[in-house]
Chain A
């Protein structure tokens, strides 16, 4: 029985596809302007050294946009994190709060559906559409690279797809574990507005923790408490290795939050 999953898969297809697609399509745009952009690489290097960008992009904000992977990495480092933050705050939280807002739980849960299962199937829809981020990004990266190699053969464009694959697995893991945390917050709070507030505070708070810890050596330790510290896109791409430890940290945190959410929702009172 996967009817809840299928129903929600169909119901959410538009947002489910459009959001990752919008992130992916921009890769093509970057590829299109990159040949011109690289002319101004020296100027960019200066800009990127400014403290404002350092704060936005963290330590790894030093990109060599003279080469295509550098430009690609710059785009991904900026946009991906913001997408992850926005998506994981809003979408997993809405899994339950939307039902509460619209008062649809009373009818649905009067059918013999275990509550945990209802929640898990809906969360799986989110996980499924989250897969589109890595898949579409890889697809558009591939198309972009092919395009550049074909049209700008003299630039000797190369791309490390293995590192990209590693980092995309990391991206999906971040969607999983942050999403599970947001889900946990929402079933704990239930009240739609409060739940959104708490999810936003927790997720954005973790992001800040990571950024501050990453920039400030004296408090570096705090970044380890942030999910964003693990399987970080830029770190994987620059090292080119798969961080096994990080993977298990995210898996563990995500599973713990997810199981916690399922248990709470199974037991808790539906009072609103």
Chain B
């Protein structure tokens, strides 16, 4: 079954700044925000967007909202062009910016009421949000703690129960209890057909709620994969003890192209980190006599970190 595509990003390239050449001299500086980024998010999916600081997550999200002008590429939301149909798209989405700020001389209630004029609140969901989140909505947002202000941002973005949520680090600053409730809510909304595209630095969060992840690094999407597949497919730990007749050199092992990393313990056992091709490993091991062998999936955290550096 192919699900409808809600977000389609193709070859997105965003460059900040401009270089001006006058003769041999160069003025200004180009900074790549995102380069040739392609991915899509299907209806009813929670897509996690990961990557180190400054990798380009916010850049991609703000491009989708048509805040940034992209140099190259195409973005469509609900099959509509993100630029030409921006207004139509914004009727059906909810957004939490990474650097959240709301009008600070208003209370949460006032903001809810004000933005209701532009995107009608879903009263049922709003009621639920009021019970989940602990923030005092009668307090001016200027006087709220940053976590509480984030709660207001979440309530505002979700209040109309939009079809598609674009959440830039939505749980930053939330306490663990609220975070857990928020995750539960997202999962339920997903079941009700809401599509969610969220960025995060919290790997447990991604592991807990995302169906798929995209990892962006230096503006480039280095991986898009099902969370379930990730483990199996990407990184495994191999522990091997060779019988003493023939033992390969550590250097030799490190040279193998399916081996990402290897080291030797004091007792002579080898510990290998391998990528994808278990067949290659088996073929290679055939050349040796083996006393003990075990293969373990790496933790997701390890996989992510591997892509981070």
Contacts and interface: CB of A to CB of B under 8 A. Distances in A.
A109 B101 contact: no
B104 interface: yes
B88 to A, nearest CB: 8
Contacts of B184: none
Nearest to B166: A110
A102 B99 CA distance: 10
A111 B101 contact: no
Interface stretch (B115-123, B235-243, B250-258, B279-287): B115-123
Question: Which secondary structure characterizes the binding site on chain B?
Answer: loop
A7 B156 CA distance: 17
B90 interface: yes
Given A107-B153, A112-B90, A269-B69, A7 B114 contact: yes
A3 B87 contact: no
B103 A111 contact: no
A111 B69 contact: no
Contact of A104 (B69, B101, B119): B101
Contact of B97 (A3, A7, A107): A107
B91 interface: yes
A11 interface: yes
Contacts of B65: 106, 109-110
A107 B95 contact: yes
A270 B114 contact: no
Contact of B118 (A3, A104, A268): A3
Given A269-B68, A271-B68, A107 B156 contact: yes
A174 to B, nearest CB: 30
B114 A107 contact: no
A113 interface: yes
Contacts, number: 64
B91 A112 contact: yes
Given A1-B117, A269-B68, A102 B101 contact: yes
Contact of A106 (B88, B90, B95, B115): B95
Given A1-B117, A113-B118, A271-B16, A107 B101 contact: yes
Contacts of B91: 112
A110 B95 contact: yes
B94 interface: yes
Contacts of B114: 3, 7
Contacts of A107: 95, 97, 100-102, 153, 156
Given A3-B118, A112-B90, A270 B68 contact: yes
A112 B160 CA distance: 12
A193 interface: no
Contacts of A103: 97, 99-101
Nearest first, the 5 closest Cβ-Cβ pairs linking A and B are A110-B95, A111-B118, A103-B101, A106-B97, A269-B69
18 contacts: A1-B117, A3-B117, A7-B114, A102-B101, A102-B103, A106-B101, A107-B100, A110-B94, A111-B90, A111-B115, A111-B118, A111-B119, A114-B87, A268-B69, A269-B67, A269-B68, A271-B16, A271-B68
